[in-house]
C-alpha cells in the first residue's frame, strides 16, 4: 500500500482502508470511501473504493435483502 499513499487520493483511500481493516469501523470507512469516489471519481482509488464498498455491503446486508433490492432496482430502471 505504500505506493498508494504518496498522493492525496492515496492518503484518503489508505485512511478509509485502515478504518475498515484496522479500526473495524465500517460506518466511517464507508463514508471515507464515498469521499474518495466523490473527490476523485476517475482515479484507480475510486475503483478500489467501489470494490471495498461492495465488500462492506456484503458484510452487513443480509443476502436476501440485497438480492431483493437489486431486483427492485432492475425493475425500476427497465420502466424508464
What are the angstrom distances between the C-alpha of 5 and each of 13, 67, 69, 74, 79?
Answer: 8, 35, 35, 37, 43
Q: Which of 7-11, 71-75, 76-80 has the lowest mean pLDDT?
A: 76-80
Rounded CA separation 50/36 (Å): 9
Q: Check whether 64 has a pLDDT greater than 70.
A: yes
| Enclosing domain of residue 49 | 8-79
Distance linking the first and last C-alpha atoms of the chain: 42
Q: How many domains does the chain have?
A: 1
pLDDT at 4: 61
Report yes or no on 75 lying in a domain: yes
Residues in the chain: 80
User: Please, is 79 exposed, middle or buried when counting C-beta atoms within 10 Å of its C-beta (0-12, 13-18, 19+)?
Assistant: exposed
Q: What is the pTM assigned to this prediction?
A: 0.86
In a domain, 35, yes or no: yes
Amino acid at each position: 500500500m505504500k505506493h498508494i499513499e504518496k498522493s492525496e487520493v492515496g492518503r484518503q483511500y489508505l485512511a478509509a482502508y485502515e478504518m475498515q481493516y484496522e479500526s473495524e469501523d465500517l460506518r466511517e470507512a464507508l463514508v471515507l470511501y464515498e469521499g474518495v469516489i466523490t473527490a476523485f471519481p476517475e482515479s484507480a482509488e475510486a475503483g478500489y473504493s467501489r470494490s471495498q464498498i461492495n465488500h462492506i455491503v456484503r458484510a452487513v446486508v443480509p443476502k436476501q435483502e440485497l438480492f431483493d433490492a437489486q431486483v427492485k432496482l432492475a425493475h425500476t430502471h427497465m420502466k424508464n
